[in-house]
Structure 1
Amino acid sequence: MVQKLRQEGVPQKQVRELTGISERTTSRIEKEPEVTNADDESFRKSRNLGRPSAVEQYEREIQQWFEEARKLEDGPLQGQEVLARLRAKGYTGGKTAVYELVHRLRPTNPPVPIVRFEGLPGEFSQHDFGQRRVRFADGHIEVVRFFASRLKYSRFVDVQIVDNEQQETVVRCLLRAYEHFGGIPLMSVFDNMSTVVESREIREDGSAKVNWTQRFAQFAIDCGVIPLACWPYRPQQKGSVENLVGFVKDNFFVARTFQDRPDLIAQLQGWVDYVNTERPCDATKEIPLTRLAQESLKVCAHQADTYAFKVSAVVCPTARVHYRGMEYSVPAVAIGQTVTLHLQQQRVAIYLGERLLGEHPRFPENGKSSVLFEHAQELFQYRRGKPYAQRQLLLDLDPMVQPYLTELVHRRPQGWESDVDHMYQLYEQIGRTDFLAALSLATEVRCFGSEYLLAIAEGSQPVLSRS
């Protein structure tokens, strides 16, 4: 700007007012070669403008460090190591300058072209997690996570909305995808999932070894799955399998509105059916369902709902096993021992070695604990503790039980134990749902006592006196 203004005959004083540059600097700029490039950084370097970096004097030495032979396990020379070496040599400058110089001097490998290849029928499937921020009709914004799967040959797709990206979620989503496909392909390809890949090792010959997480490895053995992990940032390994997560984001979530989460799931199911059965694939120019018939898939020995995900736990002194906020009862003989939980989608079976200790609903109705009647009887063997054990089990049924028992105990401080015993026997006879319904009605009419609950449960219409 200074050069153009001066070429047009603008006085230095006016140039200073327009640009904020002093007249002395303006005189210097007039003597420099004409500026022809807008790259300010290259311009400064070509004229040695600015203070010289303190790290520049080490440039040749750093270049030699890059040429040194290194052990395979040490990996390539990193900026932090270079900075540490320079500090030992007396360098007192900033680390940013060192990292920038390392980036400039680091040897670069020539780019490797991506090898595209078409998979054979039943050879590969691809699986990955994705997420997308969604604004629902009421203005609520939610991060929606999904698990996407696709067969490489036919491009047949399966997409499931999930709550998390934990190991059990991966396993059950895979099984549902295989059920949707009609079987298991020869190999299943995964990106860098921490729930699947524990670590990678580089052998001396340069080959890579993948260490799978123990639970995922057990799943692969149980179901006959051959997993294949892509190396991070290596798109060459993915062949012609396109960006599956991007495909879902760009083709489903774009230009759609959702009333709520159930509406999103319903629309997703419709979209999956459409891309599988009606829409020709851009890559194959065929409808995926047509090519699916050619896929050679193996029968899966397990289903998503019934596959047992095995977890070890120690039985607490209360004769219960804790797992992710839930409690499950076991016989008292197992206290202090390590048991194995066989977690299905809706049920959990607990084993001590080969012995089955009990089966529970995976998610108890009260949201926190499941106590089998035969296990509860062991809590009642001590006479003095039985009323309190029964009372606690009733309290665990639902929060509405607490105000009823509180009122009962205060009204009958000397007789509540008998009431609690009769209430627990009634609960065993009619079950949780009917017991809570009777309790709710008794609370509504302000009748506190086991005799009223029994009358309500039997459907009789006695005159309910207030006690």
Structure 2
Amino acid sequence: MKRVDTIARVRRAFYVQGWSVKKIVRELHVSRNTVRKILRTDETDFSYERERQPMPRIGPWQGQLEQFLSSNANKPSRERLTLIRIFEELRGLGYEGGYDAVRRFAKSWSQNRGAVTAEAYVPLYYAPGEAYQFDWSHEVVVISGVTVTVKVAHVRLCHSRMMFARAYMRESQEMVFDAHDRAFAFFRGTCTRGIYDNMKTAVEAVFTGKERHYNRRFLQMCSHYLVQPVACTPASGWEKGQVENQVGLVRERFFTPRLRVKSLDELNAWLLDKCVAYAKAHRHVEETDKTIWEMFEAERPHLVPYVGRFDGFHSVPASVSKTCTVRFDNNKYSVLATAVGRPVEVHAYAERIEIRQDGRLVGDHPRCFGRGRTIYDPWHYVPVLVRKPGALRNGAPFKDWVLPYALEKVRRKLKGVDDGDRQMVDILAAVLTEGLPAVEAACAEAIAQGVHSADVILNILARRRDPAPPPLLLTSPALRLVHEPVADCARYDLLRRAG
């Protein structure tokens, strides 16, 4: 077909310059039929569209090709075949046509399928304090020079679009509890409904429609914060589209380029500042005359008041080894020596580990997220030292043990004594009954007196614990005065004259 500029030149030559059709054909090198078509239709552009595309070769193979295309579209993106691969599969079955026919058929099939499967959506409205949405994302950061993948919890208020994000090393249930508590404490309240996907830490079974069997501990958390949980339809992320969009926004604006921080606490403090800064700098989607932060401040009075922290731990039964340790999450944590031989219960929080036996706390440690590490509390092994004082010198729990200044000074002085380990163990054993402040004060007093013996320190503790009563002086009745003497200074003058 002739281009638009050629059509324009023919029209100007005939109507403006007055050329004949014969001259236009000769000068512009255009056929007579084309010139007549341009002048008769008064069109400025001609386009050609084939009404029917003949495919004689692929006709008998259309059914097979449709099966290939349909099954390929239902596969995950990483497992889908390219069109060249589908063409090769078709050739293997006996197809003798070319690739171009397969490509044209696949294009028309995709267009028809898209027209059939296209879905329309209804914009949603949430009243102030009505609902929030929760989701997880995985981001790559560098912490203290080590590249790690952190799990970021996202919470978003549906009305004001205020967002909250916090990073964790795990995606387990105790992290879900901690993320909710910190988000609600930041919002100073919560909503009446929480919208979730069907994450395993919350949903144990999916039934027809919106019916779900929720995890018992998750329901306890929702009851504590007065929240009604609502789970989305499986594979229907648009039902919590706001938090899905937040995941992409946070990844693009906060985690690109790759962050480098010293610790997870530094990362979380930075994330909170960025969330507040973004809310103050950007307009609300619907109320464009207000910022997200202004809408959030207006929504706060409508939130359900924050009722305080939920005791969000994940409970796991465990056994105590003979080395006074409990295994949890690929690490070992020490417990009191008296707990050996009986089962315990590990209460895993987001940042610490509590170990209880019959309701009594037998171990409390900061949580470790490495692998194969052992976290000791040397005081757990002091009762064992009473029976085996030699373990003080080479015991693994006592390596790099940092004692208070006075105790450490006594320990250094006792290293040069033959029975120094035994004496130091006696002093440490006193901490279990007297308390660390009292023993430290006794050690400081002994050092001030220039001694460091365990007997002296224990004697000081005993005197402070049971001070001796003041001595009671008794006078014999025969020695008591009947008449109190009267002072007479004139007697001294008589004595002087006599002298």
Which residue of the partner structure matches residue 193 of structure 2? 187
1:113 to 102, 111, 120: 120
> What is the CA RMSD across the aligned residues, in angstroms?
5.2
Which residue of the partner structure matches residue 493 of structure 2? none
For 2:260 and 2:152, the matched residues in 1 are separated by 18
Supply the AA of the counterpart residue of 2:357. L
Q: How does 1:291-330 map to 2 (within 5 A)?
A: 291-292=295-296, 293-295=298-300, 296-303=302-309, 307-324=312-329, 325-330=331-336
In the superposition, the TM-score normalised over structure 1's length comes to 0.56
Residues 170 and 333 of structure 1: CA distance in aligned 2, closer, same or farther (over 3 Å): closer
Residues 390 and 145 of structure 1: CA distance in aligned 2, closer, same or farther (over 3 Å): same
The answer (yes or no) to whether the contact 2:134–2:243 under 8 Å persists in 1 is: no
1:396 pairs with 2:397 = yes
| Cα deviation 1:367-390 (Å, max 9, x = unaligned) | 7334574x5455357x5xx23555
> Deviation of residue 182 (structure 1)?
0.7
Residues 260 and 208 of structure 1: CA distance in aligned 2, closer, same or farther (over 3 Å): closer
The answer (yes or no) to whether the contact 1:146–1:161 under 8 Å persists in 2 is: yes
For 2:270 and 2:340, the matched residues in 1 are separated by 48
| Cα deviation 1:236-267 (Å, max 9, x = unaligned) | 4236666110121233345x685545676565
Please state which structure has a larger fraction of its residues in helix: 2
Stretches of structure 2 lacking an aligned partner (at least 5 in a row): 1-47, 76-88, 94-105, 403-415, 437-442, 452-499
Which residue of the partner structure matches residue 271 of structure 1? 274
For 1:348 and 1:427, the matched residues in 2 are separated by 25
For 1:58 and 1:115, the matched residues in 2 are separated by 32
Give the % identical residues. 22
Match of 2:171, SS state, is: coil
Q: How does 1:256-267 map to 2 (within 5 A)?
A: 260-261=261-262, 267=270
Which residue of the partner structure matches residue 137 of structure 2? 130
Match of 1:114, SS state, is: coil
Which residue of the partner structure matches residue 177 of structure 1? 183
For 1:109 and 1:330, the matched residues in 2 are separated by 67
Match of 1:350, SS state, is: strand
For 2:138 and 2:351, the matched residues in 1 are separated by 26
Higher Rg = 2
The answer (yes or no) to whether the contact 1:158–1:272 under 8 Å persists in 2 is: yes
For 2:361 and 2:269, the matched residues in 1 are separated by 40
> Deviation of residue 177 (structure 1)?
0.7
For 2:337 and 2:362, the matched residues in 1 are separated by 8
Match of 1:396, SS state, is: helix
Match of 1:294, SS state, is: helix
In the superposition, the TM-score normalised over structure 2's length comes to 0.53
Which residue of the partner structure matches residue 83 of structure 1? none
Supply the AA of the counterpart residue of 2:152. F
Which residue of the partner structure matches residue 250 of structure 2? 248
Stretches of structure 1 lacking an aligned partner (at least 5 in a row): 1-35, 64-77, 80-92, 402-414, 436-453, 463-467
Supply the AA of the counterpart residue of 2:189. G
Which residue of the partner structure matches residue 166 of structure 2? 160
> How many aligned residue pairs are there?
342
Residues 192 and 416 of structure 1: CA distance in aligned 2, closer, same or farther (over 3 Å): farther
Which residue of the partner structure matches residue 287 of structure 2? 284
The answer (yes or no) to whether the contact 2:317–2:346 under 8 Å persists in 1 is: yes
The answer (yes or no) to whether the contact 2:346–2:355 under 8 Å persists in 1 is: yes
Which residue of the partner structure matches residue 18 of structure 1? none
